[in-house]
Amino acid sequence: MSPPLDTSQAKAGRVISVRGSVVDVAFPPPLPVRNQALRTGVDDQIVLEVHSLLERERVRCIALTPTRGLARGMAVRDTGGPLTVPVGEPLLGRMLNVFGETIDRGESLTAGNRADIAYWPIHRPPLPLAERVTRTEIFTTGIKALDLLAPLEAGGKAGLFGGAGVGKTVLITELIHNMVGHYQGISLFCGIGERSREAEELYRDMRDAQVLDHTVMVFGQMNEPPGARFRVGHAALSIAEWFRDQAQRNVLLLIDNIFRYVQSGTEVSELMGRIPSRVGYQPTLATELAELEERICNSQSAAITSVQAVYVPADDLTDPAAAHIFGHLSASIVLSRKRASQGLYPAVDPLQSESKMLTPAIVGERHYRVAQDVRATLAEYEELKDIIAMLGEEELSRSDRATVSRARRLERFLTQPFFTTEHFTGQPGQLVALAQTLDGCERILAGEFADVDEQALYMKGALDG
């Protein structure tokens, strides 16, 4: 799907070589500029994007669709601008791909020649600094570990870091469930390079929860070419920017998984023949990531709040992709494989997770003090684990045994049954207010539950009585 184009300005070129997803095209001067969209193939079904200008009459493109059937000498049409996506209220409740085509088997957005749909380019400059605003408002999620130790910023960017199988997608899905009920803005889910099955399940879950009317879903799945996966994040951001700037509505942007964006950029870089940088990543990693992340910001009228799942290769947080993503975030939630293996879900690592919002001036003295006390207790417990493993808990002093008791109860209290896993666990989900989380932690720190079996605090919501 694409908007009506002024074909009088369009130039014709021809394909001179095809190597997988890399296509070289000859054009008479002046050449189309970088990021310009080209169309070729039968019925213009193959979409190319100009990636580099090689010679006076030759450009190198990356294909955003499969190149099956493309041959040398085929005509190529310059569309005269970058790839565009539809924006507007009719997108609510729909599932789209990188081209703005509906993939939910519903009616096409172009049916009936609708006038309420505009088209915006996927490549747009970030909001100027003079038009941005910063906020000091907490975005509560109802998840104890997040609200206490790494509070999210309204209009900020939060990352969920973890290796394979520690619960990133489950946590993202739970955030959607918890927020979309009381959140008054638009929820925009962007799936980059993830499983098609997860997209289909998420769509059904949103439909069953009757929150689809406030949600837009944009997907570039792992079975699609790297060019499509590399641009789907930009397409989703153009849609989010329309709701922020034109409809003046707050947007909750959930990205699963931002590492796949980096990975698709690596694939594109390799296809273009660039020499890789550190650990095999593309030399333009920082620039490409900044182009995407810096568009997520707040204007005077509305905010874009982003939560991004980040796959961490080999659980190594010093990996260049993870390290570059860290720099753009206001909250970093690290999911621990060790905690997941102990059954402590959500597997949030309390000592590595952090938020720039966790200061007394923003969250208040009480919240800050409780969070610091919880961290200090859990850190002390970590130091005592070696002694316990070698000599046993009986060899600890009385005060150390009390610390271990409090820490183990805090670990279990910070677990929580999720609404999105009810059909797996049989336990009903729990939404916990921040005040209840702080109250429960204070009571445990005071030793009120020293005589209560620690398992009684496991997978519980708020403390009763």
Based on the residue annotation, tell me whether 241 is a catalytic residue of this protein. no
Cα–Cα distance between 153 and 176 in angstroms, integer? Answer: 16
Cα of 129 vs its chain's centroid, Å: 23
Distance from C-alpha of 45 to C-alpha of 129, rounded to nearest angstrom: 39
- 423: number of CA atoms within 13 Å, CB side? 3
Task: From the candidates 49, 153, 174, 194, give the one annotated as an active-site residue.
Answer: 194
Which residue out of 195, 207, 274, 401 is catalytically annotated? 195
Other Cβ atoms within 10 Å of 349 Cβ, number: 21
* Count of Cβ atoms closer than 10 Å to residue 351 Cβ: 12
Q: Tokens at residue 380, please?
A: 């002390």
With left for phi above 0 and alpha for psi between -120 and 50, is residue 83 left, alpha or beta?
A: beta
- What tokens does 186 get? 């638009």
What DSSP assignment string belongs to 234-259?
HHHHHHHHHHHHTS---EEEEEE-HH
SS3 158: strand
* Catalytic-residue membership of 144: no
The catalytically annotated residue of 39, 168, 412, 460 is 168
> Is 194 labeled as catalytic in the residue annotation?
yes
Q: Find the helix or strand (DSSP H, E) in which 381 lies.
A: helix 365-391
What residues act catalytically?
168, 194-195
